[in-house]
Amino acid sequence: MANTCIVCGQAAGSGEHVFPAALGGRRTNKNIYCTTHDNGYSSLVADLANQVDVLNAMLGVVPDHSDDVKSVLARDDSSGEEVRLSVKESSFTSPRVISQELVANGVVMNMSFPSRQALNQWLAEQKANGIDVTPLQKAQEHPYYLGAVHHQRRFGGPCGLGAVAYVTQTFLAQAFPALARSGDVAQFIAYTQAIAKLAQISSGCGEPNDGPANPRLETARQAFEAALAPWGGQAPVWWDFDIQPDAAPNAFEFGHRVTVGVDASDGQIFGRLSLFSSIHFGMRFGTASAGAETKTVTVDIDPMAARPPNDIKKVESASAIARVAVPKQPTAGLAAAISNGSQDGVFSELLRKIEARSLGKAAAKMHAELAAYSTLAEFEGEQLISRVLEGQAQRVLNIAKWVLQNFKATLPAEVLPGLQPTIDAMTAHDPSSTNGLTPMASATLALAIGALAAQLREDIKAGRLDEHRIAELMGEGPGAAVVGRAVLAPIVQALSQ
């Protein structure tokens, strides 16, 4: 029985990921879906994976079908060019012309390439097109500083919720194989099937579509409405902004949690999914026939674990503490959370935690790099500190910007118009320069790096430079004070004259 597809009853054996591979799931199970029905859910999973890809990229999740960390495409505000972002690096996706000048026999161009490989490929393409390119100087590696980067993603929607329902349904089938095939959850499976069919059609998830309307879309929409009818016309899955009933913290930092269970008192078959320990969903699968036992299975999933066995932690209990309270209006919780700001709060809190983790990692790396300081002569030691800070220059630039923006906010209204252009110019971007900054912004960055270098040296000599202190100096606290004193000095001087 356990070897049949929970949708159609035919032989299972597709070996799909129990938790989606794109979200860092590492385990597969051949006992849940046939190949047709496994594949049928893939568009739905892709929709959810797209929605959280920027979070996966910021955390450095390696999708299970990939060898490299997740990256996302975004747009650099100052150059307008596309950039690829991941925890490892940010780079432009295409060659960039920084400047060009007509000369007697052609054009002199100053260009930038994402990598040496991209440069060589471009040279080969020009040659193939009969264009003669002569490098005037050897290629050099330069950092490029990004300004605001835009990456927009919608989150949730009918397909996002449908994907959440499908993922949790798969865990229900794994933990309660007989129940999943009993017919007690048939209406829930019909719902995930119907939303999965919508997701397979272009614009079925509500995304804009310029092309002609697909006639299949209307049919799929009607089938979806029909699948919702037994649920009162509402999806049996919803956002949950309440405090989670299972107080046990996730076993992993930024871990996902799937909870499935049955409450014998009234037969409720319930499910919960928490993404990144932050974004919570609840759902009701149906009602179990008499004779069911109360049981809950909770699985924590580490999206950052490269492979089994330490990627999951499973707990079984004979309680139904995680049972759900079905909202009268499944969308009411979300609507309220959007209007009172708590949905925004969930995301900004998650982003804050991810940023804190990234700062901690940078501090650990710098601490390791600076360990050699004590073995070096004074001059070499200074060079080491500068090198280590240059490696974090984008972070230093961001601190300088943060300091200047905050300073601007404290200025009295009568001096603001006079000073604002200067303050903004101090960290202005210039996409036509090699490093993406104006000369004035480059000078501000150099000032900030110099000030932090002096502080790092002082702290090393005083024996107080541990990872925690480095994180403070590279963040928006003590570090901002150090950077602030340096970059604000010229303005303060001008003001006092």
Site residues, Zn ion (CB under 5 A): 5, 7-8, 34, 37
Closest CB 10 distance from Zn ion, rounded Å? 5
Smallest separation (angstroms) from Zn ion to the CB of 343: 35
**193/427 with CB nearer Zn ion:** 193
Cβ closest to Zn ion, residue 38 vs residue 53: 38
Question: Considering the complex, what minimum distance in angstroms separates the CB of residue 38 from Zn ion?
Answer: 8
User: How near is the Cβ of 34 to Zn ion at its closest, in Å?
Assistant: 3
Structure tokens at 199: 């997701």
CB of 186 to Zn ion, least distance (A): 13
Residue nearest to Zn ion (CB): 5
Instruction: For the CB of residue 225, give the shortest distance to Zn ion in the complex, in Å.
Output: 23
Inter-residue contact 480 to 399 (CB < 8 Å): yes
Residue 173 vs 258, nearer CB to Zn ion: 173
Cβ distance to Zn ion smaller for residue 7 or 189: 7
CB of 33 to Zn ion, least distance (A): 6
Nearer CB in complex with Zn ion: 56/170: 170
Least gap, CB of 271 to Zn ion (angstroms): 20
How many whole angstroms separate alpha carbon 33 and alpha carbon 14?
Answer: 6
Instruction: Indicate the residue among 36 and 126 with the shorter CB distance to Zn ion.
Output: 36
At position 376, the amino acid (one-letter code) is: L
For Zn ion, the closer of residues 193 and 392 by Cβ is: 193
Pairing of strands 279-287, 295-301: unpaired
Are 60 and 69 in contact by the 8 Å Cβ rule? The answer is yes
Shortest reach from residue 261's CB to Zn ion, in Å = 25
Of 10 and 202, the one with the shorter C-beta distance to Zn ion is 10
Which of residues 8 and 419 has its CB atom nearest to Zn ion in the complex?
8
